[in-house]
Amino acid sequence: MKASTVICSQTEIVAENGLVVAGHKLEAEAGLRILQQGGNAVDALVAAAFAGFVAEPSNCGVGGYARMSIFVAEQNKFVTIDGYVRAPGLARSDMFELDKSIPAPYYGHPHTIGRKAEYGFLACAVPGAVACLCAAHEMFGKLPRAQILEPAIEYARAGLPMDWQLSLTIADCMQDIQSLPDTAAFLVPGGRFPRIQTAFHSGERLDFSALARTLERISEQGHQGFYSGPVAKSIAHYVAANGGILSVPDLVQYRPKILYEMPANYRGFDYITANDPLGREVLNILENYDLQALGIDSVEYRHLVAEAFGHAFADNMMFYGDPDFTASPVNGLSSRAFGNSRTNQINRNKAASRPIGAGDPWQFEMVHTQPHGRAATPSFGGIKGTTQMAAADREGNLALTCTSLTGAFGSHIYVPEVGVFLNNAMQNYDPRPGYPNSILPGKMPIFAAPVLAMARDGRASFGSAGSMGYRILSGVIHSAIHSIDFGLGAQAGVDYPRVYCQGNETFVDGRIPAEVRAQLAEMGHQVVEQTDEPGKIYFGRVNTIVIDPKTGFMHSGASPAWSTAAAGF
């Protein structure tokens, strides 16, 4: 039998002065507006991210987190701003009861009884998105903060038209939404779905007036407009009144990590990953193979990429912990020597036995490779649900972010007084005591998804950020190697079929020929065929910018076409 295949792409934008690629057209338009007003790439990215808090309320928000990679052209340096969540001050490593009656989810940690680490008032970790974005703007922005937030505030005041993606996400979460009166009153007012925007009518709008007021406070006061004062009190009181532990001190004392990473190198390109060792390990492994000689459509190429993903994931899930709080070989995991050792354990003709066993990164741990941290006041105690943006300017600056609530609408907790959805990122910790990723007050959990910024010969050259949980790894890494190893254009690089592996299964894009899938199965892969389509994104959303070294022109890559956008001039 033959069946049609979904093939959907969009125009590659080529820009001379500035480019923004994002998860929603309102984000791209907000960033472009700031570029045209004289802002730089960081200004544009921050504007796009705040706009996303309105445009994609199920994916990101001021109650979520953000991680950012920046290449600063004038200083020829990379900077990571890690605004990931932190565990509240009252959190404990044994705060959740384990549910062993159902299989562990995709990240390997056991579920919790009543899904309390995933939904509800105990699932909320301390949000870092606002702190991350404000820190980036304060360090590297050009335009006033009020100007940067203007687009987001305008969007919030106008309200967000319902579309099919938002409606589909609400429907998927309806059981939990209906159990929370304030959340239901916002998303399904009067107990019915707001009318969807179509070709024949504009549709009804969600009321974002409360969020508009919160954004106005941030515009006036910076991060303090969120982390202290009325907004912080409203959030903490609402959570406490319903049995949660997120407090005013947690918010007041939150600080992001600001790091000057020592860049790694892939085939002559210096890069950072927003301090994510998993992405570095994958690239360290793949650099040992001549991928171009193998061919982009070869079974050997697909096999080696899947094995690199699987081995790196096994290593990081076994050993990674926030190095500020626990002994963890984070530098060993990202070292080239460890990547070489794992390469030697990969059979080029056969898949490793599943589950893949972890290597030993401790013997490669080197203190001198630690990123240099910018001095800051210490914080407390020391997949859907995500979106991404990238921005570049004519001065050569490159900025990328992944911003998230973790799950769709996060914890599903909506604080009506301030218009904020709170994240459900407590599920990203290991709920078992005694593990590297266990819960501790103030600690950041594992984040195994790179935000990739690359430069060559001191000039920004490539950037990629993604969303969709750990599938981000597939989108970001594939877009990089499709560009660097195979010479594909920016849009072609994100459109080309991908594979992914983080455990027993090897997920293979259904557009990859059946004979390749069959050969992977013969090599021992547990092949699962999947194909992206509206409502089902299996291989991650990804935004890419490729900068031509000769012309300086910026090229956009945005996939999938129905859930991303680009704008430039």
Q: Are 273 and 280 in contact (CB under 8 A)?
A: yes
Per-residue confidence (pLDDT) for residue 223, from 0 to 100 = 98
Residue 21 and residue 75: Cα distance in Å, rounded? Answer: 24
User: For 428, phi and psi rounded to 5 degrees?
Assistant: -80, -10
Q: Which pair of structure tokens corresponds to residue 488?
A: 């594909």
Residue 391 and residue 393: Cα distance in Å, rounded? Answer: 7
Per-residue confidence (pLDDT) for residue 220, from 0 to 100 = 98
Q: How confident is the model at residue 310 (pLDDT cuts 50, 70, 90)?
A: very high
Computed over every residue of the chain, the mean pLDDT equals 93
Q: Which pair of structure tokens corresponds to residue 131?
A: 């702190």
Which residues is 398 bridged to in the sheet?
71, 392
pLDDT value at 477 more than 50: yes
Q: Which pair of structure tokens corresponds to residue 342?
A: 């794992």
pLDDT value at 374 more than 90: no
Which residue is listed with tokens 């509240």? Answer: 88
Q: Which pair of structure tokens corresponds to residue 439?
A: 């819960």
Which residue is listed with tokens 């990240």? Answer: 107
Q: How confident is the model at residue 432 (pLDDT cuts 50, 70, 90)?
A: very high
- The per-residue pLDDT for range 209-222, each reduced to its tens digit, is 999 999 999 999 99
Q: Which of 110-114, 140-144, 200-204, 228-232 bottoms out in mean pLDDT, i.e. has the lowest? A: 200-204
Residue 86 and residue 440: Cα distance in Å, rounded? Answer: 9
DSSP 180: S
Per-residue confidence (pLDDT) for residue 371, from 0 to 100 = 47
483 by DSSP, 3-state: which?
Answer: helix
Q: Are 339 and 277 in contact (CB under 8 A)?
A: no
Of all residues in the chain, the percent with pLDDT exceeding 70 is 95
Residue 175 and residue 188: Cα distance in Å, rounded? Answer: 12
Q: Which pair of structure tokens corresponds to residue 502?
A: 């983080």
Looking at residue 268, its amino acid is G
Residues sharing a CB contact under 8 Å with residue 374, sequence separation 6 or more, in sequence order: 258, 259, 260
- The per-residue pLDDT for range 509-539, each reduced to its tens digit, is 999 999 999 999 999 999 999 998 888 899 9
Q: How confident is the model at residue 382 (pLDDT cuts 50, 70, 90)?
A: very low
Q: Are 446 and 87 in contact (CB under 8 A)?
A: no
Q: Are 185 and 177 in contact (CB under 8 A)?
A: no
Per-residue confidence (pLDDT) for residue 368, from 0 to 100 = 47
Distance set, CA 244 to CA 110, 112, 290, 424 (Å): 21, 16, 52, 12
Of all residues in the chain, the percent with pLDDT exceeding 90 is 87
pLDDT value at 75 more than 50: yes
Using the Cα atoms of residue 166, residue 168, residue 169 and residue 173 in order, give the sign of their dihedral: positive
Distance set, CA 315 to CA 176, 302, 337 (Å): 34, 20, 14
Number of neighbours of residue 190 by Cβ within 10 angstroms: 8
Per-residue confidence (pLDDT) for residue 4, from 0 to 100 = 57
Question: Is beta strand 526-530 parallel, antiparallel or unpaired with respect to 505-509?
Answer: parallel
Per-residue confidence (pLDDT) for residue 367, from 0 to 100 = 56
- The per-residue pLDDT for range 355-367, each reduced to its tens digit, is 999 999 999 997 5
The three-point CA angle 332-377-438 to 5° equals: 45
Per-residue confidence (pLDDT) for residue 194, from 0 to 100 = 86
Residue 504 and residue 316: Cα distance in Å, rounded? Answer: 16
Which residues is 543 bridged to in the sheet?
465, 558
SS3 of the chain: helix, strand, coil, percent, to 5 = 35, 20, 45
DSSP 268: T
Of the two residues 261 and 567, the one the predictor is more confident about is 567
Per-residue confidence (pLDDT) for residue 2, from 0 to 100 = 55
Per-residue confidence (pLDDT) for residue 513, from 0 to 100 = 94
Average pLDDT of span 262-282: 96
Per-residue confidence (pLDDT) for residue 6, from 0 to 100 = 64
Of the two residues 50 and 108, the one the predictor is more confident about is 50
pLDDT value at 369 more than 90: no
User: For 131, phi and psi rounded to 5 degrees?
Assistant: -60, -40
Instruction: Enter the pTM of the model.
Output: 0.95
Peptide bond between residue 256 and the one before it cis (omega within 30 degrees of 0) = no
Distance set, CA 508 to CA 38, 126, 521, 531 (Å): 43, 36, 11, 8
